[in-house]
Amino acid sequence: MQLVNIMAYTKRLDGRKSFTELRPIEAKAGIIKSAHGSAMFRIGKTIAYAAVYGPRELHPKFMQDPKTGILRCHYNMMPFSGSGERIKPGPSRRSKEISLVTKNALLPVLDLTDYPNAVVDVFIEFPQTDAGSRCAGICAASIALADAGIPMKDLVAAVSVGRVDDKIALDLDYQEEAYEDGPVADIPVAMLPSTGEITLLQMDGEISKEMLMKAIQEVRKAVGQIYEVQKKALKEKYASNAPIADVESDIVDTGVATAGTAGNTSGASGAPQAPDLEALDRELDEN
Amino acid sequence: MALLNDSLKQHLIDSLRKGIRYDGRVLDEYRPIAIERDVTRNAEGSARVKIGDTEVIAGIKLMVGQPYADSPEDGNLVVGVELSPLASPDFELGPPSIEAIELARVVDRGIRESKAIDSKKLCITASEKVWVVSIDVCIVNHDGNLLDACALATLAALQDTHFPKYNGDKVDYSERTTKKLELKKLPLLVTVYKTGDNLFVDPTPEEEMCYDAKLSVTTVQNGDICALQKGGEKPITQDDINLMTDLALAKAKEMRKLLK
């Protein structure tokens, strides 16, 4: 195809300077006004929107758990968001599986025992994708959950790591995933930035155990960058929202109060209060 | 989202009858409209439209498919609207709701009946291969007046649609050609609402619960009407139709400037 040395992946195809460099990241909280919490997370050309609704009453009723609220996640690509043909709307086997692993990636940081019989719904949609969508979705969802004021002990940061030929590369884009001149492995990982605990791990491709361990180590080093962007998005939203807002933002204010307690899982605080940015700052930094 | 108890609803209706709106606008005033094009590179054309806090994204995919047997030389047009639960607590997962179907069909009607797209030009090989113009509109945030927003986003996206590379066998979506989808007309949709004797446009979700009747009017540049849809539970008179289409035409004229 091109004049490249076969079996040698020496330079990233999209021009990134190193194999551990992430694509440009951008995040914004509170992008969907109708939702209790929401966020946009963009990594390279992959854009994820997440909206959180709830805690709200769970239907169908037989799914209700009197001991705790439950989390539901829904991953969906917009019909025009893929790089090839139009994607048929509605759930597919792929989107259902990703919804499941997304839920499992987020659940460990949540404590929903204060919301018996309730559900927290997370809807994740993609207007544009270029690989790494499940990770971008998890990053967006975790900001949106915090924005909704759901008690969380940490945010969740996720990025894919991979093996392209003999190199370990972070945050593969579509070109790299489709690399044909050597073996490729794609490993989406979600991690709690403060402890390094892993809440999502999948892989397809071929890789040795040694390489896998190294790859995960690279994720550990990189999640900090994502975490910073996530925290910044939350702080920015509440910085711009700090003055007494309009009538509609009652829910948002409650969100601030509980987002401020993101460092502990002792439960949501009751009455809405003015956002305490310093406390939010401190608590996020402690983690 | 829009939860109105009976007395608040009655208050809103009474106010609308006096010409006073929930958010202080005058009756024929739209919220600020913002149009952004080429918002997703994987679509052959796309646009984001915001009307106030309502936000929708329209994406156009061009695919090669088979023509219908009764129109072997015409390309196909397919419109879908997705009321994703992302956009409102009132939207649920599952097959398209009746609301979504109506939205898609009314948007479709405006484009189709105005003949904005020359379907003969979408023919590749008669009876065998034609271009299928697939329009999907996804709602990102629902804050009222989805229909006008969907129609506007569709037009903005169609204005910016380029054919992908096609070698007679396979479509290469990685490359856009410079060949544009030709849009011969700009069929703009404006929905006019009526409460009491007053007409208004661009309702909030609360106002959408307070109208007697509505009329969606799609018009093209020369003032011709190419699609209509009446909604609401109360009847309208011929005089109403006259006034409503006049207002729709005036608003469409203003909106058209945003599209150039």
Give the 3-state secondary structure of chain A: CCCCCCCCCCCCCCCCCCCCCCCCEEEEECCCCCCCEEEEEEECCEEEEEEEEEEEECCCHHHCCCCCCEEEEEEEECCCCCCCCCCCCCCCHHHHHHHHHHHHHHHHHECCCCCCCEEEEEEEEEEECCCCHHHHHHHHHHHHHHHCCCCECCCCEEEEEEEECCEEEECCCHHHHCCCCCCEEEEEEEECCCCCCEEEECCEECCCHHHHHHHHHHHHHHHHHHHHHHHHHHHHHHHHCCCCCCHHHHHHHHHHHHHCCCCCCCCCCCCCCCCCHHHHHHHHHHC
B103 contacts chain A (CB < 8 A)? no
Q: Which of A53-67, A271-285, B46-60, B173-187 comes out lowest in average pLDDT? A: A271-285
- Chain B residue with minimal CA distance to A84? B173
For residue A9, tell me if it sits in a domain. no
Instruction: Copy the structure tokens of residue A277.
Output: 């940015």
Quick check: A80 and B142 CB within 8 A?
Answer: no
B140 contacts chain A (CB < 8 A)? yes
Q: Is the peptide bond preceding residue A55 cis, with omega within 30 degrees of 0?
A: yes
B134 contacts chain A (CB < 8 A)? yes
Quick check: A35 and B86 CB within 8 A?
Answer: yes
Q: Which of A236-245, B25-34, B144-153 comes out lowest in average pLDDT? A: A236-245
Of A49, A79, A83, the CB nearest to B59: A79
The pLDDT, as a whole number, for residue B4 is: 79
Of B39, B46, B134, the CB nearest to A86: B134
Quick check: B141 and A85 CB within 8 A?
Answer: no
Quick check: B173 and A32 CB within 8 A?
Answer: no
B80 contacts chain A (CB < 8 A)? yes
Q: Which of A47-56, A197-206, B2-11, B39-48 comes out lowest in average pLDDT? A: B2-11
Residue pairs spanning A and B at CB distance below 8 A: 100
* Region B237-259 average pLDDT: 96
As a whole number, the mean pLDDT across chain A is 86
Min CA distance, B92 vs chain A (Å)?
A: 11
- Predicted model pTM: 0.85
Min CA distance, A121 vs chain B (Å)?
A: 9
Q: What is the C-alpha separation between A132 and A134, in angstroms, rounded?
A: 6
Quick check: B59 and A45 CB within 8 A?
Answer: no
- Chain B residue with minimal CA distance to A144? B86
Instruction: Copy the structure tokens of residue B86.
Output: 């992302």
State the residue range of the domain holding A271: 25-157+191-210+223-286
For residue A176, tell me if it sits in a domain. no
Phi, psi values for residue B38, rounded to 5° = 55, 55
CATH 3.30.230.70 assigned to domain B30-259? The reply is yes
Q: Which of A70-84, A228-242, B241-255 comes out lowest in average pLDDT? A: A228-242
* Region B191-195 average pLDDT: 96
A133 contacts chain B (CB < 8 A)? no
Q: What is the C-alpha separation between A186 and A171, in angstroms, rounded?
A: 9
Quick check: B89 and A49 CB within 8 A?
Answer: no
Chain A positions in Cβ-Cβ contact with residue B80 (cut-off 8 Å) = 79, 89
Q: Which of A218-222, A271-275, B24-28, B163-167 comes out lowest in average pLDDT? A: A271-275
Q: A94: which residues sit within 8 A by CB, 6+ positions away?
A: none
Instruction: Copy the structure tokens of residue B126.
Output: 């008669």
A173 contacts chain B (CB < 8 A)? no
Q: Is the pLDDT of residue B260 over 80?
A: no
- C-alpha B61, offset from chain centre: 17
For residue A235, tell me if it sits in a domain. yes
* Region B198-204 average pLDDT: 96
Going from N- to C-terminal start, the domains of chain B cover 30-259
ipTM of the shown complex: 0.87
Of B82, B142, B174, the CB nearest to A89: B82
Min CA distance, A29 vs chain B (Å)?
A: 14
The CATH number for A57's domain is 3.30.230.70
Min CA distance, B250 vs chain A (Å)?
A: 30
Phi, psi values for residue B100, rounded to 5° = -65, -40
- CB contacts under 8 A, A 73-92 vs B, are 74, 76, 78-86, 89-91
B39 contacts chain A (CB < 8 A)? yes
Per the structure, the count of domains in chain A is 1
Query: If pLDDT is split at 50, 70 and 90, which confidence band does B168 have?
Result: confident
- B139 three-state secondary structure: strand
Query: If pLDDT is split at 50, 70 and 90, which confidence band does A278 have?
Result: low
| Chain position carrying tokens 């609401």 | B232
* Region B173-185 average pLDDT: 92
* Region A272-278 average pLDDT: 47
Whether the CA torsion B126, B131, B135, B136 is positive or negative: it is positive
Q: What is the C-alpha separation between B189 and B114, in angstroms, rounded?
A: 11
Report the greatest alpha carbon distance in chain B: 64
